[in-house]
A and B are shown apart, each in its own frame.
Chain A
């Protein structure tokens, strides 16, 4: 009930704000900046998440500006400057951001109906490789770079769990997790490291026949990509933002926003949920991995 009242109130504020746009900023203070880690290119990122920004702006009654970056360094530079009020990270960068730049998770993605994700090692279905340790001496292409939580860190953790150290296999990187899977599919590598969600991405399932791929190893479920806010935002605002994000599925416009963002929903999550990930990062990348600027 309280939630409904708040939403009605927010809607009313938004409508009022819409009528008096020039004053909104004045009414709500400075605009809220929303950053999205450059998982995709800027154009696509804008297409996916501008509705969300618009939705938040309408619900919060203050301007919400979606800022995109040409590349990850620019994004991370903005993070270090705490330029963003609302940020969508990947798990690894969130661990760094909460540790060094005061961001706290408020929600996590629910993709394909799941709010958890796992890192996996993919091989072709007809491959002779049956166990992770058999990847010794083989090439493994990981999606993204060493900061990719589900495409590199967790798969590498799986390799470590199987007793393979760095150098026991050839490590290469594709530009993205789907491309890592594509590389395995197209016989450019023996195995690919990527999140288990990749196998369900339309861009993947439409491009290749995933029936011809199989997962050699998969990690335990891990929390999905986090949405965090700057910890110095007012508590009410942080709560309102959290409520707006996790309540998207309850709102017609919110569902549209989710659809536009290719998300099933956003779900509330505790920050502790990412502690295990932090342990994995430390194990894979070492203690220095969570140092600022890494």
Chain B
């Protein structure tokens, strides 16, 4: 078969044509020979029939007269006929009654040899032996006399001569046919060669050039027939291929140079092509990748359902896009954005898959980072508020469907602010980190511990069956935090206050549950801290009040419900006013006069303090400048500055503008800050305070002595004034220790070049103590309550009337 395939078309054509001709002529010859044989056989049989019938007609008389000799002579006579092997007559019971046979006939000798018999004794024996030989045709004719059977004549005819004639004829015809086939073959080959082979070989040479990549030399058409048109089509195809190859080269170059990784596989997933980017991105050489499957990149991190979806999509003939988390050749993980498209052939059958893959590891990293930033607390790694809210929402939906309960816990560390203020934020952060870890260890995997900010944590317990489940977790949290935390060589102990609300008992919405838990947490704090509380209706009322306060406060400034009060600062010796501390008052039409200790923390909490503080500064400076000008005295104005204002970034500009607008002497403006602010040893705070100081504004530490005892900040910050807390002042007259402390503070301040102001002086004894201690200025009810603008103006006029006129204030 292989040798047949190697044969030329011409040889195949001639061979096939010859075979076909041979087959056809052979069949024709066979048919003719069959007809001839049948004809000759019929002739033979007819001849034998004539003889047999003749004998049968003339035999009755001989039989009836026992004239066997004559009968034998009949047989002998007919036996002389060519092709007749023998004839015999049998009586009606089958006994042969003739004897003539020419035993020496070649046909009989041949037949006897065929049967292995040298001779037979009679024609009867011969008949028995050879009657059924296919070479013979045996015919039987009845011998009748008056319609009475007397016997029959049997004639055996040899077909050998006829066969010989047929063979001769067949040989003759074969020779004739061979001659015809030879002539036909030569003729057909000549025509085939001229009209087919020659142009086909030209086409073959052209195809060879195409195979070698030579598309520049077209095939010269040799005719305008079908082959000519084929030649034209091939030439056209050659041009098309040249164009397509050019395009393909460009495309191939583009694919090869593409920054995206490209893989082409067969339908079994076996890689047949990878581009340069693939090698660069994966670190796997093309030689290593070819013949393998993309599983060489599999990291095991992409979920199985993604691969299932991938295969289902592409095997269905659609394009799949998605992201795979794969592994590079060196083991590093990376993310790919993958587009896999099936490649179909001209019959629309999928033959390959092409995958274009973009390394999106950086993007995924950003996404991951953004996700973590958006959803997790960077310090503790715990879910942040946003994620906690989302999870709570999910828990509520699940609980709603399953009629379960959800416990929401608000956890706040007791006095954490003090730790932050005294030990610094770094220590505080490390403490928070440890607290977060301990809290996370106290809940189940399905539960959530989130850090909302500062020292506030939110704990969400799902699938709770009863209220006691929440209590158990709260107890556990109290327990895990009841062990000191070692931070920077210190053993710190923080206790939590936990408020719990329960879905659906205490609310069905996220906001309400959080609010109620928050309220319960405050209740826990109010209950002495280091404990937990459930949300109660009483607490709810408090919360409602707070909410109302919040709502009103938001519009207090706009509605001009806020006003300023001025508490005089006096010279201890003369008791004459030297300035005032401006204080904020709020009178709401519905709530009445709201104490500052209620609404100022709330304003701070709500962030309203920045705007309010701006207004206080502007108004206070404006009014004090008028009084300065009215009285011609360098009256100082002390203004409390919230830490939020300091951190807002606008304080420095604001002060500069207010001073400028009101032509206010910076040296007469004292901005009061708390110790806590100074403990926030951040660059921003320091920069702001230095800026203020550079303006000439004086900085005062309010409530000095209530904070932490780290006094080194006094040297680090550009302070001017210490205001001794009223608790020292009030106790100083009763406790020598406090009096000593006051003297120490004053002594220290002197050493640092600071002025000292005594607050809350309410009695003459306290005044006397302050005098003895050398305090520079005093304020308190002993001298004056905080006064409204009009009253303070009157106060000033009244106090300064007997005072010698100082030099006018510029």
Contact = CB atoms under 8 A, between A and B. Distances in A.
Contact of A183 (B68, B70, B99): B68
A209 B123 CA distance: 12
A5 to B, nearest CB: 45
Contact of B66 (A172, A207, A209): A172
Contacts of B66: 141, 172-175, 179-180, 182-183, 188-189
Interface string B53-85: 000000000000111111010000000000000
B24 interface: no
A19 interface: no
A207 B72 contact: yes
B448 interface: no
Interface string B82-101: 00000000010001110110
A182 B91 CA distance: 13
A175 B91 CA distance: 18
Nearest to A189: B66
Nearest to A186: B97
B96 A186 contact: yes
B597 interface: no
A227 B36 CA distance: 62
Contact of B91 (A172, A178, A188, A207): A188
A45 to B, nearest CB: 15
B445 interface: no
Using C-beta atoms within 8 Å of the partner chain, give the interface range for chain B: 10 to 19
Interface string A144-182: 000000000000000000000000000011111011101
Contacts of B598: none
A176 B96 contact: no
A209 B95 CA distance: 15
Contacts of B99: 207-208
Interface residues of A, number: 19
B558 interface: no
Given A186-B96, A209-B121, A209-B122, A203 B69 contact: yes
Interface string B9-28: 00000000000000000000
Nearest to A182: B68
Contacts of B70: 175
Contacts of B95: 186-188
Interface string A110-138: 00000000000000000000000000000
Nearest to B76: A207
A207 B122 CA distance: 9
Nearest to A41: B70
Nearest to A175: B67
Contact of A182 (B69, B121, B122): B69
Contacts of A187: 91, 95
Contacts of B68: 174, 178-179, 182-183, 186, 207
Interface in B498-540: none
A207 B95 CA distance: 15
Nearest to A143: B66
B28 to A, nearest CB: 51
A184 to B, nearest CB: 10
A290 to B, nearest CB: 27
Nearest to B65: A175
B100 to A, nearest CB: 8
A232 to B, nearest CB: 38
Contacts of A186: 68, 91, 95-97
Contact of B69 (A141, A172, A179, A188): A179
A182 B302 CA distance: 116
Contacts of A176: 67, 69
A73 to B, nearest CB: 17
Contacts of A208: 99
Of residues A179, A183, A208, which shows the largest number of chain B Cβ atoms within 10 Å of its Cβ? A179
B735 to A, nearest CB: 178
Of residues B68, B91, B100, which shows the largest number of chain A Cβ atoms within 10 Å of its Cβ? B68
Contact of B67 (A172, A174, A207): A174
Of residues B91, B96, B99, which shows the largest number of chain A Cβ atoms within 10 Å of its Cβ? B99
Given A209-B121, A209-B122, A188 B97 contact: yes
A123 B100 CA distance: 22
B215 to A, nearest CB: 99
B67 A179 contact: yes
A178 B97 contact: no
Nearest to B122: A209
Contacts of A172: 66
Interface string B121-155: 11000000000000000000000000000000000
Contacts of B69: 175-176, 178-179, 182, 203, 207
B214 to A, nearest CB: 97
A172 B97 CA distance: 17
A180 B65 CA distance: 10
Interface string A180-223: 10110011110000000000000100011100000000000000
Contacts of B121: 209
Contacts of A189: 66
Contacts of A174: 65-68
A191 to B, nearest CB: 13
Nearest to B97: A186
Of residues A175, A187, A208, which shows the largest number of chain B Cβ atoms within 10 Å of its Cβ? A175
A208 B96 CA distance: 11
Contacts of B122: 209
Contacts of B72: 207
A11 to B, nearest CB: 39
Nearest to A209: B121
Contacts of A173: 65-66
Contacts of A209: 121-122
A231 B373 CA distance: 176
Nearest to A176: B69
A95 B438 CA distance: 171
B92 to A, nearest CB: 11
A6 to B, nearest CB: 41
Nearest to B90: A186
Nearest to A207: B99
A268 B263 CA distance: 136
A208 B99 CA distance: 7
Nearest to A174: B66
A179 B62 CA distance: 10
Contacts of B91: 186-188
A203 B99 CA distance: 11
Contacts of A175: 65-67, 69-70
Contacts of A180: 66
A233 to B, nearest CB: 36
Contacts of A188: 66, 91, 95, 97
A208 B101 CA distance: 11
Contacts of B100: 207
Nearest to B67: A175
Nearest to A142: B66
A24 B767 CA distance: 228
A12 B147 CA distance: 65
A42 to B, nearest CB: 15
A173 B70 CA distance: 15
A179 B67 CA distance: 6
A182 B66 CA distance: 8
A189 B70 CA distance: 18
A84 to B, nearest CB: 27
A176 B91 CA distance: 19
A178 B72 CA distance: 12
12 contacts: A174-B65, A174-B66, A175-B67, A175-B69, A175-B70, A176-B67, A183-B66, A186-B91, A188-B97, A207-B72, A207-B99, A209-B122
Interface of B: 65-70, 72, 91, 95-97, 99-100, 121-122
Given A176-B67, A186-B95, 15 more contacts: A172-B66, A174-B65, A174-B68, A175-B67, A175-B69, A175-B70, A178-B69, A180-B66, A182-B66, A186-B91, A186-B96, A187-B91, A187-B95, A207-B99, A209-B122
**When A and B form their complex, which 8 residue pairs have the shortest distance between CB atoms, in order from nearest?**
A174-B66, A182-B68, A186-B97, A175-B67, A207-B99, A183-B66, A179-B66, A175-B65
